[in-house]
Structures are given as C-alpha cells and as structure tokens.
Amino acid sequence: MRFDRFVMRANLIGLGVLLAICLLMAGFAAMEAWKFHSSANDYPGPGLERSAGGPTGQIFGAPQGKITVYASSGDDPDSVHDVRLIDMQSGAQASLAADPRANVYGTMNVGSLGYIGLVETGQRDQRPVFDFVLVRFSDMSRHKLASGLDALDAVTLLDDSSFSAILWDTRKDARFVVMNVDGPKIVVSRKLEFGEEEKEEKEITEQVEIGARDVLASRNKFD
C-alpha cells in the first residue's frame, strides 16, 4: 500500500510538472503570436512616416486628405530649409520658399488651412528680416502674406478659413492681423500699443518737440 501511494504521489507530481511546462509553453507561444500581430499592424500614425534610413516627413490633415512635409536642417539650429509639401492624394508639390537654400523659421501647420513659415530675405540693422509665407493646402499654392518682418507670434486658428497672429514689423512696432486663406490676404490689421516704456518714450519725444517749438517761438519774438 505504501508503495502504491508513493507511485500515485510521484505520478501526481509528474503530471503537475508536465502541466506547468505545458502552461509555460502555451504562454510563450501566445506572447510570440501577440508580438507578431502587433508588428504586422504597427503602422505609423498621423505625424510620423517610417523609412529605411531615408528622410522622415510629417503628415497633416487637409480638406482633400493628407499632406506630407519634408525639410532639411538649416544653417541656424532654429531654422530649416528646402521645405517641401506633397499632396498624398494627387502628388502635387509646393515649396515654402522660392529659394531652397533660404533659412526658414517658425514653420507650422494652421489646422487644415495650410502651412506657414518666416523665410529669411535679408538684413536690417544687423537683424534678419522675413517674408511671411503660406502654402494653402486646398490647392498647394504658395502666397506671401507680408514682407520685411522682424518676427511672428501667437498664430491662432479662428475658423475654417481664417487665422490670426501678431506681426512684428520692427522690434518695437507690432500689429494684430487676421488672415483669410480664401484670398489669401490680410483682412484685419491693427497697430498694437505696448506698456509704459513705449508711453514714456512717446512723452519724452513730445516734450522735446514742445521745447524745440518754445525755443523757436522765443527767438522769433526777439527777432
């Protein structure tokens, strides 16, 4: 009897070990199958495009479908150049700058309206000046919205045909603008007043002008 119980216990232990091995093997097989399924369906999502050692483009939504944007690193770490857009439905192409060597700053898509950037065109007072350029997604056309700018800020999508921004014409002169992409053109432009510093400078200028007029008036009085 003892021998029979020993054999039965050994058989149960053996069955338990065998069952554990089978469960481990089944788990391993399930994991490998899941990895294979995941890799087979691991398509890049919006904004990413995989390539085998080639350039990587950004994908944006547009009224007609998807737009892919490619750009190369610029001379300045904050800039890019040779910015090209491709309509993934028709293959139509557009460049943000007429000169592919021009440095381009502040590139971004404005919803599904288009792609914008500041294209460097020259220097003024040892500072770069820019053209404000839009590539409209609907027909892949390039448009210059403003020129001779010092900076661009606060681009804001308003509706399905317009956006707003702050354009700095110089380091001290800024304006609020609304752009309509159907034009495309600036449809609203308002000069902005900034703070006490600008007010004080204006008051000093006015005082100098008043003083100069007083001096001239006193001279005329005694002439």
Let me know if residue 207 belongs to a domain.
no
Q: Are 117 and 151 in contact (CB under 8 A)?
A: no
Pair (73, 32) in one structural domain = no
Let me know if residue 50 belongs to a domain.
no
Distance, CA of 216 to CA of 223 (rounded, Å): 11
Give the pLDDT of residue 45.
Answer: 37
Let me know if residue 80 belongs to a domain.
yes
- The answer, yes or no, to whether residue 75 has pLDDT greater than 50, is yes
Instruction: Give 126: exposed, middle or buried? Use CB within 10 Å, 0-12, 13-18, 19+.
Output: exposed
Pair (180, 117) in one structural domain = yes
> Residue 197: left if φ>0, alpha if ψ -120 to 50, beta else—which one?
alpha
- The answer, yes or no, to whether residue 216 has pLDDT greater than 60, is no
- The answer, yes or no, to whether residue 129 has pLDDT greater than 50, is yes
Question: Domain limits at 2?
Answer: 1-42
pTM (2 d.p.): 0.65
Query: Which of these, 153, 143, 222, 221, lies nearest to 192 by C-alpha position?
Result: 153
Q: Which residue has the higher pLDDT, 111 or 196?
A: 111
Let me know if residue 212 belongs to a domain.
no
Number of domains in the chain: 2
Mean per-residue pLDDT, 138-144: 95
- The answer, yes or no, to whether residue 158 has pLDDT greater than 70, is yes
Pair (73, 176) in one structural domain = yes
Q: Are 169 and 158 in contact (CB under 8 A)?
A: no
Pair (142, 171) in one structural domain = yes
